[in-house]
Amino acid sequence: MDKQSRITEIVRRVAGKPVVFAPEDSLFESGLLDSFSLTDLVTSLETEFSVRIPDSDLNPRKFDSVERIRAYLDSRR
């Protein structure tokens, strides 16, 4: 499974819904995720991709879409 697919599955798991969305769709504006689920999302990403995401990066804008999450993770490598 490629990185984008893995991120999509994590988002679905955190959201608790088997929804369909495009990689560029806003996860927060759509209501799929909220500020409370951001922590769960980040924890899942850290586990899945073996990366440490500092508290200073916990900004919904950085994790607002699958594309942005992928770009963020790529920048952390």
Instruction: Sketch out the chain's domains with CATH numbers.
Output: 3-75 (1.10.1200.10)
- In which band, very low, low, confident or very high, does the pLDDT at 19 lie, cut at 50, 70 and 90? confident
Residue 18 is predicted with a pLDDT of: 84
Q: Is the confidence at residue 77, as pLDDT, over 80?
A: no
User: To which residue do tokens 């995720």 refer?
Assistant: 33
Going by the DSSP 8-state scheme, the letter that residue 56 receives in this structure is: G
Distance separating alpha carbons of residues 6 and 69, to the nearest angstrom: 11
Distance linking the first and last C-alpha atoms of the chain: 18
Residue 58 is predicted with a pLDDT of: 93
Q: What is the pTM of this model?
A: 0.92
